[in-house]
Every structure is written in structure tokens, then in C-alpha cells.
Amino acid sequence: AQKVTQAQTEISVVEKEDVTLDCVYETRDTTYYLFWYKQPPSGELVFLIRRNSFDEQNEISGRYSWNFQKSTSSFNFTITASQVVDSAVYFCALNDYKLSFGAGTTVTVRA
Amino acid sequence: SAVISQKPSRDICQRGTSLTIQCQVDSQVTMMFWYRQQPGQSLTLIATANQGSEATYESGFVIDKFPISRPNLTFSTLTVSNMSPEDSSIYLCSVEKRAGGILSPLHFGNGTRLTVT
């Protein structure tokens, strides 16, 4: 069974639009970590944000923000005022006893 | 954070041959992992590289095909054996650190792009 579900396969926006990426996870553990990673066309995997299961406080970091809702097992990620350099594949990941990745969402930001 | 050096960065190999990928970390880490990313796909965990003992493989991956070594806390190798075109993927090394019970984000090497012809 899929542990991490990213329902959106592709998102295309015009520069300066906001982009919200959905992520729903499944785990029986009470202690776990959630992550968002970015993979630009160059291929490297870049860590963006981390949240542990005991901290539901939602934060903003620059143009990135996230919405962690344990009640709905969701960990959504928003890029505000998108830029062309944000074009990449974004992966949501869950670490309960090992790291499991979602299928990824390809974000294309057009100038 | 950890600096991870992975090599080779890319290679083109003939079917039936083997390739060994190296992963060097700039500091001692608790856990090291190997992932595969097939073209256009997400990342799939191959195995956990255990220091001083045999690697722990995920379902669908076997030691004969993907032998792994981890002689110390900063280094690991993954061998892709008897390659076929289906093995063409990006292979990534990643490491995990825990400090005071807090899990660090998994850091990844830049990956090895393998093409099997």
C-alpha cells in the first residue's frame, strides 16, 4: 500500500502565482517525520523542510510554507510568488522506520 | 548537515558487466542507505548499509544483484551486478544522523546516472 500519496502529477503556473502541493501519508507509528524534497532538472535531491509528528505548528520560511494536519494525515507545501527557478519535481516523504517517498509532483513555472 | 561524495557521477556500461558505486561521507553517520530512481519515477529504497554486518535489503532487491559493503561509518559501496538495460537508473546514496534523539533530514549524494546498453 502506498504510504505517501501525492495526488497531483503535474502543476503548471505562471510566474508569481502561488503553488500548493498536496501530500497525504499513512503510518501507524506515533513518532514520525515528514519531509519535502526538491529535485531540479540537474537531478540532485535538495532538502526543503522537515516536520516531526509532535509539532503541528505551521511555519513560513521565505517563500515556502507548509500546513501539517495530523487529523487528516496531510502535509501540504506552498510556494508563494513562484519563480521559474522553482521548476522541479517535488517529493513528499515520510520517515517512520524508513524513508518512503511519494511519486512526486512536477512543477513547471512559466515566465 | 553532511557532505556526501558519490562516484562515478555517471557511466555507460554494457549489459552483463558490473559497476561499483562509491559513497563517501565527511563525517561519521549512523545510517547509510542506497536508493534507485528509475527514469521518471520516484525513489525506491534498495537497502540499508549496515556497518560491520550484511546489508538489509528491501523487498524486490537481493544481495546477489546489489551487493553492498560498509567497512566503516563514513564509506559504503553498491555494486550493480550482471547489468541489463532495465538497471538504467539514477542510484543515490543517502545518510541519516541522529543527535539527541532528533532525526536529521536524509541527505543525498548527487547520484550516479547509469545507462546500460
Q: State yes or no: pLDDT of A94 exceeds 80.
A: yes
The C-alpha atoms of residue B5 and residue B11 are separated, in whole angstroms, by 16
- Using the beta-carbon criterion (under 8 Å), do A44 and B107 form an inter-chain contact? no
Please report the pLDDT score of residue A54 as a whole number.
Answer: 85
Q: Are A15 and A82 in contact (CB under 8 A)?
A: yes
Given CB atoms, is A47 within the 8 Å cutoff of chain B?
Answer: yes
Given CB atoms, is A43 within the 8 Å cutoff of chain B?
Answer: yes
SS (H, E, C) B86-112: HHCEEEEEEEECEECCEECCCEECCCE
**Greater confidence, A1 or A104?**
A104
Low-confidence ranges of chain B (pLDDT < 70): 1, 98-105
Greatest distance between any 2 Cα atoms in chain B: 47
Please report the pLDDT score of residue A59 as a whole number.
Answer: 73
Please report the pLDDT score of residue B29 as a whole number.
Answer: 87
Quick one: how far is CA A53 from the chain centroid?
15
Q: What is the pLDDT of residues A3-39, one digit of tens each?
A: 999 999 999 999 999 999 999 999 998 889 899 999 9
Q: What is the pLDDT of residues A61-91, one digit of tens each?
A: 789 999 999 999 999 999 999 999 999 999 9
Q: What is the pLDDT of residues B31-44, one digit of tens each?
A: 899 999 999 999 99
- Using the beta-carbon criterion (under 8 Å), do A102 and B110 form an inter-chain contact? no
Q: How many angstroms separate the CA of residue A81 from the nearest CA in chain B?
A: 26
- Among chain B, residues having any CB pair with chain A shorter than 8 Å are 33, 41-45, 48, 90, 92, 94, 102-103, 105-108, 110-111, 113
Q: C-alpha angle A43/A106/A22, rounded to 5°?
A: 120
Please report the pLDDT score of residue A43 as a whole number.
Answer: 86
The C-alpha atoms of residue B22 and residue B8 are separated, in whole angstroms, by 7
Please report the pLDDT score of residue B30 as a whole number.
Answer: 82
Please report the pLDDT score of residue B96 as a whole number.
Answer: 83
Neighbours of A94 (CB within 10 A): 23
* Residue B85: strand, helix, or coil: helix
